[in-house]
Amino acid sequence: MLREYFARIFGIKIVDFLKGTEINKYYHFYSKIMNWDRKALEEYQYIKLRQLLHHAYKNVPFYTKRFDENNLTPDSFKSLTDLQKLPPLTRTDMQKCIKELISLNANISKCIKDSSSGSTGQPVIFYHDMLTESTGIASGMVGWSLGGWKNGEKHMYIWGNPSSLDKWKRPSSKIKKFLLNYERFPAFHLNTEEGFKNLHEKVIHFKPLYLDGYSHSIYKYALYLAKNNLSYACKGVFTTAEKLYPYQKDLIQKSLGKVHDSYGCSEINGIANECSSQDGYHLLTFHIIFEINSSRNGPAVTVTDLNNYSFPFIRYQNSDLCMGNKIYYGCSCGSKLPKIEGILGRESDIVENDNGGFFAVPSFLGGKIFQNIKGVEFHQVIAKKDNSIQVNLVVNQEFQDSDKRVLEKYLAEYLDTIKWEIKISDSTDILVFQSNKFKIFLKEQ
């Protein structure tokens, strides 16, 4: 309790002092304005947008050129909807124009250079300044609060790759871990029975109230608990970074606690979070503008970060697809933040058929079909070089021939002329992991 009190009162403030961030300032500010009504919040967004557009036009060569090419000036935008006059920023733009996207007055030596995972096949490099880091982290924390988390409460992260371990060994990282009252466990260690045992022992010893991490890694931990008649009851679980499927969510909630999924991307942190009602994802519009735009493959996510002045993301299309094309208002949790149904997946998760049609893998082989099939622990889809589809399944003893027939019937109807096969195993060896994140869909190279 003493450490929790210390973390709540002093933790973020000390981290800010050591790192030069302003997380505490924005965490408290966003905690207040998230309760503003729709009109007040949109007025705030518009003021922030105007400031960003004037800065980008004056200081960022890419946007100066883009505005001029489209006969636009910052004064062309009289409302939030006018933002759609500006063509979106694509990953291809970022690859071709990275130098032009850096603000002329940015102190790039003090910025954090990062890159996306490249799961779309288009890895991109970008920069975050301290304002972007502060507002992004603060937004994520406010997003957690929608699921019940309170600043200072004990939590554990389950994520990271081998390069993360070097960072975690740094004195500054260890101090931050103590100040913010959390522990960590590397997700890439969850590939052996010993790894799961070590994680569970660490959880039992640390007793976190919340777990946070890669969706698939937490699901694998829940599966380990279920297989070994173990459990750990926590107040909540925050999943992120990967598509969470209903059958995975159900098992996590049975083995660990109530799940609150979150959505963001490396380029823009803290975009949307599932609340305590688990009825859609609230958009954290106090630091972003979120749009749903039509694309060839479906409703495309378009996001503007209102705080990144060193490397502006204005109308950024990150290749994610939205469930549905509407933004809703009103929720039983009481939050006034708008919300979306959820995220469908990435455009790279699209398969084209011989008739010129296409479908999204997370949609056609996602949650609903597995609600009617027992015994499936993992699933994965591989697009083969010959344009056929291979469906990998890891199953347990509950999986029956009748379950396979249900899936075969579904695939035959849905895939139509596309050739397909089901590969069944009781081992996770058939599954491929990239960057220590599980990839639901792979294209054979």
Q: Give the DSSP per-residue string, 176-232.
A: HHHHTTEEEE-GGGTTSHHHHHHHHHHHHHH--SEEEEEHHHHHHHHHHHHHTT---
Q: How many CB atoms lie within 10 A of CB 426?
A: 13
Q: What are phi and psi of 250, to 5 degrees?
A: -60, -45
Contact of 42 with 49, CB cutoff 8 Å: no
Residue 445, pLDDT > 70, answer no
Which residue is listed with tokens 């871990």? 177
DSSP 3-state of 63? helix
Instruction: Give, in order, the Cα–Cα distances in Å from 180 to each of 15, 131, 153, 330, 398.
Output: 8, 20, 8, 32, 42
Name the H helices within 146-179. 162-168, 171-179
Strand ranges (E), 16-152: 112-115, 125-128
- Which pLDDT band, with edges at 50, 70 and 90, does 365 fall under? low
Structure tokens at 134: 């502060």
Lowest mean pLDDT of 24-38, 103-117, 268-282, name the range.
Answer: 103-117
Cα separation, 216 vs 433, whole angstroms? 10
- Which pLDDT band, with edges at 50, 70 and 90, does 121 fall under? very low
Mean pLDDT across 117-121? 48
Question: What tens digit of pLDDT does each residue of 207-258 get?
Answer: 999 999 988 889 999 999 999 999 899 999 999 888 888 888 999 999 999 9
Cα separation, 437 vs 215, whole angstroms? 9
Name the segment(s) of the chain with CATH classification 3.30.300.
Answer: 353-443
Name the segment(s) of the chain with CATH classification 3.40.50.12780.
Answer: 2-345
Residue 380, pLDDT > 90, answer no
Cα separation, 5 vs 125, whole angstroms? 39
- Which pLDDT band, with edges at 50, 70 and 90, does 137 fall under? very high
Between strands 210-214 and 182-185, the pairing is: unpaired
Calculate what percentage of the chain has a pLDDT beyond 90: 53
Which residue is listed with tokens 């939050």? 335
Q: Which CATH architecture has domain 2-345?
A: 3-Layer(aba) Sandwich (3.40)
pLDDT of 192: 82
Beta partners for residue 292, in sequence order:
301
Mean pLDDT across 31-60? 96
Indicate the burial class of 270 (C-beta count within 10 angstroms; 0-12, 13-18, 19 or more): buried
CB within 8 A of 301, min separation 6: which ones? 290, 291, 292, 317, 318, 320, 321, 322, 343
* CATH code 3.30.70 for 353-443: no
DSSP 3-state of 343? strand
Mean pLDDT across 278-306? 91
Cα separation, 346 vs 351, whole angstroms? 11
The better pLDDT of the pair 117, 70 is held by: 70
Residue 145, pLDDT > 90, answer yes
pLDDT of 36: 95
Question: What tens digit of pLDDT does each residue of 151-208 get?
Answer: 999 999 998 766 667 778 888 888 888 889 999 998 888 878 898 999 999 999 999 9
Cα separation, 442 vs 419, whole angstroms? 16
